Structure 1
Amino acid sequence: MNKFKIFSIALLASVSVSHAQDLNQAKKAIDAEQYEKAKSMLKSIIQAKPTNGAASFFLGKVYLIQSNVDSAKIYFQKGLTGSEGAKLNYIGLGQIDLDNNNLAAAQANFALATKDAKKKDVDVPNYIGRAYMNTVKPDFKTAIAVVNRAVIDNPQDAQLLLTLGDAYYGDNKQNEAYVSYRNAFQADNTLLRAKMQLGVLLKGAKSYDEAIKAFNEVIALNPNYGPVYRELAETYYKWGRNKPSKSAENMKIAIGFYEKYLDLTDHSLNSRMRHADFLVLVKDYAALEVEANKMIELDKVNPRIYRYLGYSAYENGNVDVAIKSLESFVANPTNKVISKDYLYLGAAKFKKGLSADGLAMDPTLYNEGLDQLKKAIAMEPTSAEDLNEIGKKMFGQKMYKEAASVFELGITNPEAKNYVDDNIYFGLSIFYANTKKDVVADKVALKKADTAFENVIKASPAYQDAYLYRARTNALLENNDVMKKNYEDYVAKTTEKGAEELAKPAVKKKFIESYNNIASTYLNSDKVKAKEFVNKSLELDPADKRALDLLAFLK
C-alpha cells in the first residue's frame, strides 16, 4: 500500500510537470503568433485537467486576440473555478470590462486578481499591464505604473521588462522602451520578442536599413520565429512608401516576407484576414481577390470577407461585385465598418455611373457615391486625403462640376497632405465648369474657387499660377480690382524666377493675357496707363489681336 501511495504521488507529480511543460509550450506558441496551434494545445491541457485555471486564461487571451469575445469570456469564467492560476482569469474579464469602457468593473476584477498575491508573483502585474495596453482604448501610462511597481521587486524578470518596454513604446517613450527591451533580452537571451522589438524601434524611427539588420540578427538566432518576418514585411512596406524610387521592389519583398510569416504561423481564417489587411496596404489587389476567395472556402458567412471582395473587385474592374459586397458589409450593424469601406463604395458607385464614353455620369449614382464619401469623412476626417485620386480622375475626364464636389470634401481637413493640391483642383474644377459653352456663371461657386486659390497662395506664395487662376476667376466674377491685382502678382512672381522661366512660350502667352487684362481695367480711367500695358503685350507679340483691338480703341 505504501508503494502504491508513493507511485501515485510520483505519477501526480509527473502529470503536473507535464502540464506545466505543455503550458509553457502553448505560451511560446502564442508569442510566436501560432494561435491555432496554441488553442489546440491549451484545449488538450484543459481536457486532461479541467481545473487548470491558467490554461483557461491563456486560451481566453488567444480568443481575445482573435476578437472572439464570447468564447474568451466563457473560458475566463470557467478558469475562475479552477485551481492553479485561477485568479489570472479576473484579469481577462477585466480587459473585457475595459473594452466595454467600464473602468470601475475592470479595476474591481484586477483587485480580485491581486488579492493575496505575493511580490514575486509577477504574472499578475504583468498581465494587468498587458490588459491596459491591449484594450480598445489603450492606457499606456497606467500600464507603466502597474508594471514598474512589480519591476522594483523583480528587476531581472524578462517578461516584466518586455511588458514595460511595450508600455513605454506605446506611450512614445522610445529611449525608455529601448532600455527595457535591452534589459529584457539580457535577462533572458531566448526571449526573441524583446530583441525583435529593438528593430521595431528602429523601424519607427525610419532607420529602415538598421531595422532590417536587427531583424536579421533575430533570424540568425531562430530562423523559424514567425513574427520577425511580419516585421520585415512591414519595414519594407514603409520603406517603399517613403522612397518611391524603390517602392515596387520593396513592396514585392514585403509580400514575400509576409508569405513567410504565414507559413511559420498558420493559415487559419484569422491569419488570412491579417494577410488580406496587408495586401490592402501594399495594393496587391489581384492577390487580395485570390485570398478573399480562399477565405470564403474556409468560412462562407464571415462578413469581413466581403470587405476584401469589395476592395479587390473594385480594383480589378468588377464594379457590380464591388457594390454588392460592400453594400452587404456596411448594411450589417454588427460589422465594424471603417471609413475605407465607404470610400470604396463611393468610388464604385462613381465607376458604375460613368458612361461608356467616359464623358458623363449618371446623376443618381453620382449622388449616392458622394453620400458614401461624406460618411467616410464624417467617420475619419483624415480619409479626405484619399479623395484626391478620385477627384483627379473626374477632372481628367472633364467632369468638372462632379470633380469640384469631390475636391470640396477633400479640403475639409487643413492638415491633410493633399490640402494645397485639392484646393488647386477645387478652384480649377469650378473655373473650367464655368467656362463651358452656354453656361451661366455660377457666382456662388466662383467665389468658392476664389477662396480656394487664396488658400493656395497663403500656403504656397511662390506658386505663380495660383495668382493667374485667381485673376481669371475674378474676371468671371467681374471683380476688376482683384483681377488686376492678381495678374500683377502673377507677373511679379514669375519674373522673380528669372530669364529661363520667362523664356517659356506658355509663360509668354500668360504675360500677354495679363497685360491685356490689366490694360482693360484702365480703359475708362487712365488711358496712358492702359496704353503702357498694351505696348508691353505687343512687345511680346506684335500680332496679338486683342492687344491691337485695345490699341485701336485707345486711339
Structure 2
Amino acid sequence: MNKFKILSVAFLATVTLSHAQDISEAKKEIDAEKFQNAKTTLKSIIKSDPDKGLAYFLLGNVYLTQKVADSAKISYENGVKAKDEAHFNYIGLGQIDLNANNTAAAKTKFELAIKEMGRRDFEEFVYVAKAYMNADKPDFKAAISTLKRVNEKYTQEPLVLLAFGDAYYGDKNQNEAYSAYRNAFQADNSLIRAKMQLGVLLKGAKAYTEAVKAFNDVIATNPNYGPLYRELAETYYYWAVNVPSRNDEYMKEALSYYEKYMGLTDYSLASRMRHADFLIVARDYKALEIEANKMKEIDNVNPRILRYLGYSAYFNNNVDVAIKALQDYTSSASNNVMSLDYLYLGLSNIKKATMGADVTVAEPILFNKGIELVKKAYDMENAVANDLSEAGKDLYEKKMYKEAAAIFEIATSYKESKNYLLDNFYLGNSLYFDNTKSGAVKDTIALNKADIAFGNVIEASPATQDVYVYRARTNSLLGNDELMIKYYQQYIDIVTKKGAEELAKPAVKTKLIEAYNTMAAGYANTDKVKAIEFFNKTLAMDPENGYAKQSLNTLK
C-alpha cells in the first residue's frame, strides 16, 4: 500500500507538471498568435482535467480575440465551476461586460477575481489590465490604474512591465511605454513581444525606416516569431499610404510580409478573416476574392464571408455577385453591418446601372437605389465620402455628368474628406457640362450648385487657376455678366503674375483668348470702350481671330 501511495503521488506530480507545461505552451502559442494551435492545446488540457480553470480562461480569451463571443462566454462560465484557478474566468466574463458597456458589472467581476488571488500572485492584475485594453472600447487609464495595484515587490516582473508598456502606448504616453518595454526585455530577453513593441513605437511615430530596421534586428535572432511579420506588413502599408510615389512598391512588401505572417501562425477561418481585412485596406481585391472563396470552402455559412465576396466582386467588376452577396449580408439583423457594406452595395447597383460601352444614360431605378444606399452609408459614417471619388470620376469620364454629379454631391458633403477640393472641382464641372450637352435645358439650380462648388475650391486653394475659368463659364450660362467678368479677370491676374513662361503655354493662351472675347461680349451692351479694349487684347494674341474681328467691326 505504501508503494502504491508513493507511485500515486509521483503520478499526480507528473500529471501536474505536464499540465503546467501544456499551459505554458498554450501561453507561448497565444503570444505567437498561433491561435488554432493554442485552442487545440487548451481543449486537450480541459479534456484530460476539467478542473483546470486557467485553461478555460485562456481558451475564452482566444475566442474573444477571434471575435467568437458566444464560445468565449461558454468557456468562461464552465471555467468558473472548475476547482483550480476558477477565479481567472471572472476576468473573462468582466471583459464581456465591458464589451456590453456594463462597466459596473465588469468591475464587480474583476474584484471577485482579485479577491481570490494569493499574496505572491500578480497575473490577475495583468489580465484585468488586458481586459480593459482589449475591450471593444479600450480604457487604457483603467488598465494603468489596475497595474499600479500590483505589489511593489512584483512591479519589475517582465509580464507586468510588458502590460504597462501596452497600457502607456494605448494612452499615447510614448516615453513611459518605451521605458516599460525596454525594461521588460532587459528583465527577460526571451520576451520577444517586448522587443518587438519598441519597433511598434517607431512605426507609430512614422519613423518607418527605423521601425523596419528594429523589426529586422529581432527577426535576425528570432526568425519564426510570426507577429514580427504582421508588424512589418502594417509598417509597409502605412509607409505606402504616406509616400504615394512608392505606394506600389511598399504595398507589395506589405502583402508579402502578411503572407509570411500567415504561414507562421495558422490558416484557420479566423486567421483568414484577419488576412482578408488586411487585403481590404491594402486594396488587393484579386487576392481578396481568392481568399474569400477559400473561406467559403471552409465555412459556407459564415456571414462575414459574404462581405469579402461582395467587396472583391465589386472591384473586380462582378457586380451581380457583389449585389447578391452584400444584399444577403445586409438583410440579416444579426450581422454587424458597417457603412462600407451599404457603400459597396450602393456602388455595385450604380455600376450595374451604368455598365456597357454604349451606355449614355443610367438605368434610373437601379441608379437611384444605389444613390440611396450610398447616402445610407454616408449617414452611418461620413468618412465613406473618401471612397466616392473613383466611382464619380469613372462616370465623369463616360460623360455621364448628371450621374457623376449625384455621387460628387454626396462626397462634398464631408468637408474633412481628403478629396474635398478635387471632388468639388469635379462636382462643378459635372453640373456645368451637363448643362452644355446638346439639347440640354438650362438647369439654374444645378448651375448655382456648380458655382458654389467652384467657390469651395477657390476658398480652399485660391491658386487653382483653371477653377476661375469654369466659374466664369458657369456664370456666363446663368446670364450673370458681372460675375463672369470678375472670375475671368481673376484668372487673367493669376496667370499674368506667373510671367511670360506661363503666358506662352498653348492651353493658357487659349483660355486667355476665351476670357478676353467673353468679357468683351459682356461689356458690349454697357461699355463699348471696354468691349473694344478686350477684343483688341484677343487680336494682339491671335490676329486672325474671326469672332473678335467681326465683333469689332460691329461695335465700330
Normalising by the smaller structure, the TM-score range is: over 0.9
**Distance of 1:68 and 1:434 partners within structure 2:** 54
Which residue matches 1:47?
47
**Distance of 1:305 and 1:360 partners within structure 2:** 34
**Distance of 2:334 and 2:355 partners within structure 1:** 35
**Distance of 2:401 and 2:526 partners within structure 1:** 37
C-alpha spacing 1:152/1:535, structure 2 compared with 1 (3 Å): farther
Which residue matches 2:170?
170
Superposition pairs for residues 211-360 of structure 1, below 5 Å? 211-356=211-356, 357-360=358-361
Any gaps of 5 or more consecutive residues in structure 2? none
Which residue matches 1:377?
378
Superposition pairs for residues 20-169 of structure 1, below 5 Å? 20-118=20-118, 120-150=120-150, 152-169=152-169
Q: Is 1:423–1:453's contact at 8 Å kept on the other side of the alignment?
A: yes
Q: Is 1:343–1:376's contact at 8 Å kept on the other side of the alignment?
A: yes
Q: Is 1:159–1:184's contact at 8 Å kept on the other side of the alignment?
A: yes
Q: Is 1:97–1:103's contact at 8 Å kept on the other side of the alignment?
A: yes
1:471: Cα distance to partner? 0.9
Which residue matches 2:470?
469
1:473: Cα distance to partner? 0.8
Task: Compare 363-372 and 230-239 and name the one that shifted more.
Answer: 230-239
Report the AA paired with residue 382 of structure 1: A
Superposition pairs for residues 395-410 of structure 1, below 5 Å? 395-410=396-411
1:105: Cα distance to partner? 0.9
1:448: Cα distance to partner? 1.0
1:116: Cα distance to partner? 4.9
**Distance of 2:524 and 2:295 partners within structure 1:** 73
Structure 2 SS opposite 1:525: coil
Structure 2 SS opposite 1:150: coil
Which residue matches 1:367?
368
After superposition, the C-alpha distances for 1:150-179 in whole angstroms (9 at most, x for unaligned) are 274422111111111111222222222111
**Distance of 1:255 and 1:521 partners within structure 2:** 58
**Distance of 1:405 and 1:366 partners within structure 2:** 10
Q: Is 1:151–1:161's contact at 8 Å kept on the other side of the alignment?
A: no
**Distance of 1:461 and 1:119 partners within structure 2:** 68
Task: Compare 518-527 and 288-297 and name the one that shifted more.
Answer: 518-527
Is 1:481 aligned to 2:482, yes or no? yes
1:549: Cα distance to partner? 3.3
C-alpha spacing 1:151/1:331, structure 2 compared with 1 (3 Å): farther
After superposition, the C-alpha distances for 1:72-121 in whole angstroms (9 at most, x for unaligned) are 11111111122332111111001000101111111111121122545542
Report the AA paired with residue 43 of structure 2: K
Structure 1 SS opposite 2:27: helix
Structure 2 SS opposite 1:437: coil
1:314: Cα distance to partner? 2.2
Q: Is 2:87–2:116's contact at 8 Å kept on the other side of the alignment?
A: no
Which residue matches 1:453?
454
**Distance of 2:408 and 2:191 partners within structure 1:** 50
**Distance of 2:306 and 2:137 partners within structure 1:** 26
**Distance of 1:101 and 1:119 partners within structure 2:** 31
After superposition, the C-alpha distances for 1:21-80 in whole angstroms (9 at most, x for unaligned) are 110110110111111111111111111211111111101111111111111111111111
**Distance of 1:527 and 1:248 partners within structure 2:** 58
Task: Compare 196-205 and 449-458 and name the one that shifted more.
Answer: 196-205
Q: Is 1:387–1:407's contact at 8 Å kept on the other side of the alignment?
A: yes
Q: Is 2:279–2:287's contact at 8 Å kept on the other side of the alignment?
A: yes
Which residue matches 2:500?
499
**Distance of 2:94 and 2:503 partners within structure 1:** 70
Report the AA paired with residue 204 of structure 2: G
After superposition, the C-alpha distances for 1:456-497 in whole angstroms (9 at most, x for unaligned) are 111101111111111111111112221111111110011122
1:194: Cα distance to partner? 0.8
**Distance of 2:482 and 2:280 partners within structure 1:** 50
C-alpha spacing 1:95/1:550, structure 2 compared with 1 (3 Å): same
After superposition, the C-alpha distances for 1:372-392 in whole angstroms (9 at most, x for unaligned) are 211221122111011000000
Is 1:193 aligned to 2:196, yes or no? no
Report the AA paired with residue 391 of structure 2: I
**Distance of 2:525 and 2:53 partners within structure 1:** 94
**Distance of 2:266 and 2:204 partners within structure 1:** 27
**Distance of 2:290 and 2:494 partners within structure 1:** 53
Q: Is 1:314–1:322's contact at 8 Å kept on the other side of the alignment?
A: yes
Structure 2 SS opposite 1:403: helix
Which residue matches 2:529?
528
Q: Is 2:54–2:84's contact at 8 Å kept on the other side of the alignment?
A: yes
Task: Compare 416-425 and 261-270 and name the one that shifted more.
Answer: 261-270
1:365: Cα distance to partner? 1.3
After superposition, the C-alpha distances for 1:437-465 in whole angstroms (9 at most, x for unaligned) are 22121111111111111111111011111
**Distance of 1:298 and 1:151 partners within structure 2:** 47
Q: Is 1:303–1:335's contact at 8 Å kept on the other side of the alignment?
A: yes
Is 1:508 aligned to 2:509, yes or no? yes
1:262: Cα distance to partner? 1.2
Task: Compare 172-181 and 404-413 and name the one that shifted more.
Answer: 172-181
Which residue matches 1:390?
391
**Distance of 1:199 and 1:303 partners within structure 2:** 36
Which residue matches 1:11?
11
Report the AA paired with residue 372 of structure 1: L
Which residue matches 1:204?
204
**Distance of 2:472 and 2:515 partners within structure 1:** 9
Cα root mean square deviation, aligned: 1.6
1:218: Cα distance to partner? 1.9
After superposition, the C-alpha distances for 1:269-322 in whole angstroms (9 at most, x for unaligned) are 111111111222222222222211111111110111111111222222322111
After superposition, the C-alpha distances for 1:406-437 in whole angstroms (9 at most, x for unaligned) are 00111111111100000000000000011112
Query: Percent identity, aligned pairs only?
Result: 58
Q: Is 2:428–2:450's contact at 8 Å kept on the other side of the alignment?
A: yes
Q: Is 1:355–1:362's contact at 8 Å kept on the other side of the alignment?
A: no
Which residue matches 1:444?
445
Task: Compare 528-537 and 128-137 and name the one that shifted more.
Answer: 528-537
Task: Compare 450-459 and 250-259 and name the one that shifted more.
Answer: 250-259
Report the AA paired with residue 426 of structure 2: Y
1:231: Cα distance to partner? 1.2
**Distance of 1:286 and 1:478 partners within structure 2:** 50
**Distance of 1:552 and 1:177 partners within structure 2:** 80
Task: Compare 499-508 and 170-179 and name the one that shifted more.
Answer: 170-179
**Distance of 1:523 and 1:289 partners within structure 2:** 62
Report the AA paired with residue 45 of structure 1: I
1:347: Cα distance to partner? 2.0
TM-score, length basis structure 1: 0.97
Report the AA paired with residue 90 of structure 2: Y
